[in-house]
Amino acid sequence: MKDAAAIAEARFVATTEHTRSYDCLLALEDTTSLEFTHRAVREEMGYPIINPLMMGYLLSKSLEL
């Protein structure tokens, strides 16, 4: 988990430095629901923290232009 945090932090720092060179930045954001209805997959992946009745996860992503 420590490696994942280091990777995320490095990406955040790099993105922050890159965006400082622009006067205006457009960020496109999208949230998608990934649903796993097959019982074996749900049990293997665990239950979402937000709502145990959900059968999937929310995936949020953004693109900076």
At residue 48, the pLDDT reads: 60
Q: What is the pLDDT of residue 64?
A: 74
Q: What gap in Å lies between CA 10 and CA 7, rounded to an integer?
A: 5
User: Are 64 and 21 contacting, i.e. CB atoms less than 8 angstroms apart?
Assistant: no
Q: Quote the pLDDT of residue 13.
A: 93
What is the pLDDT at residue 55?
65
pLDDT at residue number 42: 64
CA angle 26, 35, 40 (to 5 degrees): 145
Contact 25, 64 (CB under 8 A): yes
pLDDT for the residue 10: 93
Low-confidence stretches of the chain (pLDDT beneath 50): none
Q: The tokens of 53 are what?
A: 């009745």
**pTM of the complete model:** 0.42
